[in-house]
Amino acid sequence: MMNKQSRGRNPAIALIFLLLVLALIFSSFKFIEIAFHSEKTGEAEPVSTKTIERDGLSYFPRQDITVVMLLGIDQTGPVEASASYNNTGEADMVALLIFDESNETYSILMLNRDTMLDMPVLGVGGKRAGTAYGQLALAHTYGSGLADSCENIREAVSEFLCGLKIDYYASLNMDAISILTDQVGGVPVTVTDDFSEVDPSIPMGETTLSGEQALSFVQARRGVGNQMNVSRMERQQAYVEGLLEAFFAKGEQSESFAVQTYDALNDYMVTDCTATTMSTMMTRYADYTLSEILSPEGENVQGEEYMEFYADEEELDDLILRLFYAEKEL
C-alpha cells in the first residue's frame, strides 16, 4: 500500500501579475489534512477527447480556449527536488485560467483541494505505478516536486474534467506571498477579524500588511474570527484588492517593476511556460475581461479522519460542457 495522510495601468502587466498571484491568494494553509481511501493498480485508461453525446446532442472539445493550471504548493523556501519519487508538497490550491478567444474573456475555475478523485501514482524512477483514489491535493506529492509532480496533477485534473486539455501550468511555493507583499512595500487592508491568537502584530482596522503578516492574513482560519472558511475567503479577496492597488502604484513608478517581481519569484516557481510563451499570452490576452469565477458544486463530508469533497456529478458534467465543449452543428 502507498497510503498517504496528510490608471496608466498596463493590462499586460495585470495579466502576468494574475498568473503569478492567483496560484497563491486562494490557497489554504495545512489546516485540513489529506486522506487516501483505496488504491488501484494497472494502467489508467487513456484520457478521452472524443465527442460527447448528451440529451440527443453532440458536443466536441472547444478549440478556441487556452487553459492554464495554477497551483499553490504548501512548501516554504525555494523549489527543490526531493531525494525520492515522492515529496511532501501538497497542492493547497488548484485553479484553471480559461482564456476564451472567441469572446475575449477569461474565467477562473477553482477546484476544491479536498476533491475525491482518481489520480496517477508514480513509483520508483518516476514511472507510473497505477492509480489511487484520494484528495486532489495529494496528486502533487507523487514525483520530485518539480515538473513531474505538476504533470501528475495535470493528468489527474484532466481526467477529472473529462479529458480536458490543459495547455500550461505554473506552481508557486507559499513564500511567494511574503515576497510579493514586500515587493510592493506592503499591502493595505482593513482587518475585521481578531488575529490576537494567531498573529498579535496584526491590528484591527486599517493597516498595511508586511510579508509575514500577509501569510497569516490569507491563510489563517483556526483561532481567527468565526473560524469559517467563508471569512477567510473574504480576507483573501481584500488582500487581492490591496495587493493590486499597491502593485499598480509600483508599476507606475517603474516600468521594470513587473520583471523585477517575476525575477524575485523565479526560485519559488515551476512552470512549463517559457518567457516567449508568457510574453505571447500577455500580448494576446492583455485586454480580455474577467467573465466569472466558478467552483464545482458538491458536498463536504467528514471522513473517518479527514474532510472530503464530493463533486455533484450532474452539475460537474454541466460545468464541463459549458466551459470546455461546444455543440456540434449538423
Could you write out the DSSP letters of every residue in 3-22?
Answer: --------HHHHHHHHHHHH
Percent of the chain's residues with pLDDT above 90: 38
* Closest C-alpha among 101, 32, 108, 97 to residue 69: 97
Residue 22 banded pLDDT, cuts 50, 70, 90:
very low
DSSP secondary structure string, 272-296?
S--HHHHHHHHHHHTT-EEEEEE--
CA distances from 9 to 238, 244, 251, 258, 314 (A): 20, 11, 8, 12, 41
11-175+269-314: which CATH number, 3.40.50.720, 3.30.420.590, 3.90.650.10, 3.30.565.10? 3.30.420.590
Residue 15 banded pLDDT, cuts 50, 70, 90:
very low
What pLDDT score does 29 carry? Answer: 33
Residue 133: phi and psi, rounded to 5, are: -110, 120
Average pLDDT over residues 227-249: 75
- Which amino acid is located at 291 in the chain? S
- Which amino acid is located at 319 in the chain? L
Mean pLDDT is lowest, of 38-42, 69-73, 145-149, 192-196, for 38-42
Question: In whole numbers, what is the pLDDT of the chain averaged over residues?
Answer: 80
With 90 as the cut, is the pLDDT of residue 201 above it? yes
Element containing residue 116 per DSSP (H, E): strand 116-122
What pLDDT score does 120 carry? Answer: 94
What pLDDT score does 83 carry? Answer: 83
With 50 as the cut, is the pLDDT of residue 298 above it? yes
- Scanning the structure block, which residue is given the C-alpha cell 464545482? 296
Residue 202 banded pLDDT, cuts 50, 70, 90:
very high
With 50 as the cut, is the pLDDT of residue 130 above it? yes
With 70 as the cut, is the pLDDT of residue 115 above it? yes
* Closest C-alpha among 306, 310, 298 to residue 30: 306
With 70 as the cut, is the pLDDT of residue 42 above it? no
* Closest C-alpha among 66, 72, 148, 146 to residue 110: 72
Question: What is the Cα gyration radius of the chain?
Answer: 20
Average pLDDT over residues 129-139: 92
Mean pLDDT is lowest, of 30-34, 44-48, 270-274, for 30-34
For residues 299 and 287, the model is more confident at 299
What pLDDT score does 293 carry? Answer: 81
Cα 183 to Cα 181: distance, rounded to the nearest angstrom: 5
Note the pLDDT tens digit of each residue in 84-95.
888 999 998 888
For residues 195 and 40, the model is more confident at 195
Mean pLDDT is lowest, of 115-119, 211-215, 241-245, 276-280, for 276-280
Mean pLDDT is lowest, of 29-38, 45-54, 155-164, 305-314, for 29-38
- Scanning the structure block, which residue is given the C-alpha cell 479529458? 163
- Full-model pTM: 0.79
- How far is residue 86 CA from its own chain's centroid? 20
Beta bridge partners of 118: 133
Q: Best-predicted range by mean pLDDT among 54-58, 63-67, 244-248, 270-274?
A: 63-67
With 90 as the cut, is the pLDDT of residue 165 above it? yes
CA distances from 215 to 114, 226, 292, 317 (A): 21, 18, 26, 35
Cα 87 to Cα 82: distance, rounded to the nearest angstrom: 6
Note the pLDDT tens digit of each residue in 173-196.
888 888 889 989 999 999 999 999
* Closest C-alpha among 298, 3, 67, 20 to residue 184: 20
SS3 82: coil
Residue 277 banded pLDDT, cuts 50, 70, 90:
confident
Cα 102 to Cα 109: distance, rounded to the nearest angstrom: 18
- How far is residue 132 CA from its own chain's centroid? 21
Mean pLDDT is lowest, of 5-19, 236-250, 289-303, 316-330, for 5-19
